[in-house]
Amino acid sequence: MKYSYLFRRKLIQPEMYLNKEVIGSYQTPYYYYDLELLKTTLADIVRATDRPDYHVHYAFKANANQPVLDLISDFGLGADCVSGNEIEKAIDSGFSSHSVVFAGVGKTDSEICFALVNDIFCFNCESIQEIEVINELAGSLSKKARIAIRINPDINACTHEYITTGLNENKFGIPVHQLNSVLEKISASPNVILEGIHFHIGSQITKMYVFRELCAKINRINLWFKEKGIDLNHINVGGGLGIDYEFPQLNPIPDFTGYFDLFGKFLDLLPGQDLHFELGRSVVGQCGTLVTKVLYIKEGVQYDFVVCDAGMTELMRPALYDAVHRIDNLSSIFTKTDNYTVVGPVCESSDCFGKGLQMPVTQRGDLLAIRSAGAYGEVMASSYNLRDKVNAVYMGSDQVLVPSSALTD
């Protein structure tokens, strides 16, 4: 199997696959979150980073639902935020402000001030002008801002072009050739303190040699700073670890031990340096499933269309960059299979979840599960076509937390 080097093979059957009466008792479409799987995933992360110089920050942009955040906070992870609202949500959810890193190419003045007032751990700075602005705002508040330079290492993450962030032509980070100018700016900025360097080369990375290449580049850059007489307190390697969208039941949890051990083996930390990670998709991606009901079967030329009550307004990834999610028919009574194109009700041709998919014979009223939707799913939902906001169901070992609007009539 092509994912065997990256994923730990372990068959986990979410409860929804065992109890069809439960999943059929809520109004579709809705997101189903398996909190037990999330707990197991978080426990794996904690075990794999059981060393004092490793620190994991959860990327809020992947999923900011409160029950999910509460559980992640309980496991002691920090927060990786890209907006002021995410910082506020992190603090309100029990994350220590001293564990918050603030990234993003377009931090507003008000967001920067909010972060300064709350004494966050670090700003990951993406431009020289941003450093100027942070220095000015910190001075106006009589604060010192801890910053890290986000460096663009020009590495191809071998993932989709829309989620590649480490190439020279990407908008993210500062090119290596500008580092001397950055250091000059920092030396002339009395209200900022250079704490570290930051990297993030992309998302949904499944080729481990990409991370080895990142380590090699970081080692050279880290020594360059050392030769300049600059002692960095931390290295932040970002995130990007992918999940198995093709076989989520076989591989629900990435090989976190192999991932973190890779950095331990190939990244040469200098004495006193800590290593920080920013994981999102690999933490929550597999715990979420979008459950949708079949409205119509529409005859097509090559394949019949399965028209669902969920669409790109509930899960944008397929329309945004042709992302592929496994789709299972949870209620079909047939053993015979057929090929279908699964689409939503939104008035856009791109509102399509999959083309030419082989599934059991499907009828109106069947329930479909669109898997691996816990990251960049509900958090990207919209009200386009004035559609209702999608609901969520949270299944744990001893409780079901359901918004009242999700209950069927």
Of 347, 359, 358, 340, whose CA–CA distance to 296 is shortest? 340
Of 239, 333, 337, whose CA–CA distance to 283 is shortest? 239
| 408: pLDDT strictly greater than 60 | no
Global pTM? 0.90
Q: Please give the CATH number for the structural domain made up of 286-406.
A: 2.40.37.10
In the block, tokens 């329309």 appear at 319
Q: How large is the average pLDDT for residues 79-105?
A: 98
Alpha carbons 39 and 43: distance in angstroms, whole number: 6
pLDDT of residue 6: 38
Alpha carbons 375 and 289: distance in angstroms, whole number: 10
pLDDT of residue 23: 74
pLDDT of residue 66: 95
pLDDT of residue 10: 39
| 159: pLDDT strictly greater than 50 | no
| 180: pLDDT strictly greater than 50 | yes
| 195: pLDDT strictly greater than 70 | yes
| CATH topology assigned to domain 35-284 | TIM Barrel (3.20.20)
Alpha carbons 145 and 358: distance in angstroms, whole number: 54
Residue 163 amino acid letter: I
Torsion angle, CA of 57/61/63/66, rounded to 10 degrees?
80
Residue 307 corresponds to which tokens in the numbers above? 């028209």
When mean pLDDT is compared across 154-168, 186-200, 231-245, 394-408, the lowest value belongs to 154-168
Q: How confident is the model at residue 405 (pLDDT cuts 50, 70, 90)?
A: low
pLDDT of residue 407: 56
Q: Phi and psi dihedrals of 187, rounded to 5?
A: -65, -25
| 41: pLDDT strictly greater than 90 | yes
Q: How confident is the model at residue 202 (pLDDT cuts 50, 70, 90)?
A: confident
| 192: pLDDT strictly greater than 80 | yes
Q: How large is the average pLDDT for residues 87-115?
A: 98
pLDDT of residue 19: 55
Q: Return the beta strands (E) in 156-287 as ranges.
A: 174-175, 192-198, 234-236, 253-254, 274-279
pLDDT of residue 403: 59
When mean pLDDT is compared across 12-21, 24-33, 47-56, 302-311, the lowest value belongs to 12-21
Q: What is the mean pLDDT of the chain?
A: 90
Q: What is the pLDDT of residues 302-347, one digit of tens each?
A: 999 999 999 999 999 999 989 999 999 999 989 999 999 999 999 9
Secondary-structure breakdown of the chain: helix, strand, coil percentages, each rounded to the nearest 5: 35, 25, 40
Same fold, 35-284 and 286-406: no
pLDDT of residue 12: 40
DSSP state of 390: P
Strands 367-370 and 288-298: antiparallel
Torsional class of 376: left (φ above 0), alpha (ψ -120 to 50), beta (otherwise): left
Q: How large is the average pLDDT for residues 348-369?
A: 96
Alpha carbons 115 and 120: distance in angstroms, whole number: 6
Higher pLDDT: 87 or 8? It is 87
Q: What is the pLDDT of residues 47-65, one digit of tens each?
A: 999 999 999 999 999 999 9
Q: With contact defined as beta carbons under 8 Å apart, do 332 and 363 qualify?
A: yes
pLDDT of residue 212: 93
| 158: pLDDT strictly greater than 70 | no
Q: What is the pLDDT of residues 218-248, one digit of tens each?
A: 999 999 999 999 999 999 999 999 999 999 9
* Segments making up each domain of the chain, as ranges: 35-284, 286-406
pLDDT of residue 153: 85
Torsional class of 385: left (φ above 0), alpha (ψ -120 to 50), beta (otherwise): left
pLDDT of residue 400: 57
pLDDT of residue 201: 87
Q: How confident is the model at residue 1 (pLDDT cuts 50, 70, 90)?
A: very low
